[in-house]
Amino acid sequence: MTDTVQDFSDFPVPNTNLTGNDKTEARMLAVQAIYQHQLMKEMPFEDVLREFVVYHLDAHKANKEIFSTIIHEVQENQQRFETLISQHIDERWSWKRLGLVEQSILLATVAELSSRVDVDAPVILNEFVNISKGFVGEKDSKFINGILNAVARKVRPTEFTE
């Protein structure tokens, strides 16, 4: 058996998106941008935003409005969102104990729940839970889903019936 080397120089294909949906693509890129900011705290959010606008949004055909809304919302309210999310994490856990990927997914979701009231909360939750499966797998996405359901009921109580 011979090993073959694959050429990935044209992956992903320019001017296409991975998900087939410009809104999902924007949400996925927002998670990645928030993650980059979390990882490189010394890099100002504006620089991260600029980098994603220049190098990623058009290449992925992502919805710029959704991406920008999520990023700006996190930029303005990150501390408040972290406090809100922390209130709904199991007492054996803490915000700092969560991985940066999980934190980024949670922040992006709460940002959209807070700012895009024209989109039903269950739609937003479903999108981000599905995105989380690609980043953290099934087990951790269930953990994220539990936190997001509790937070969503707090942020948008009229959309949920008990």
Dihedral angle sign, alpha carbons of residues 51, 53, 59, 60? positive
Residue 63 structure tokens? 């919805």
DSSP annotation of 132 reads H
- Under the banding of pLDDT at 50, 70 and 90, the label for residue 142 is very high
The pLDDT assigned to 5 comes to 56
CATH class, range 22-156: mainly alpha
The pLDDT assigned to 94 comes to 87
Domain ranges of the chain: 22-156
Pairwise CA distance, residues 17 & 152, whole Å: 28
pLDDT in tens, 50-100: 888 887 777 778 889 999 999 999 999 999 999 999 999 988 888 999 999
If you average pLDDT over every residue of the chain, what do you get?
86
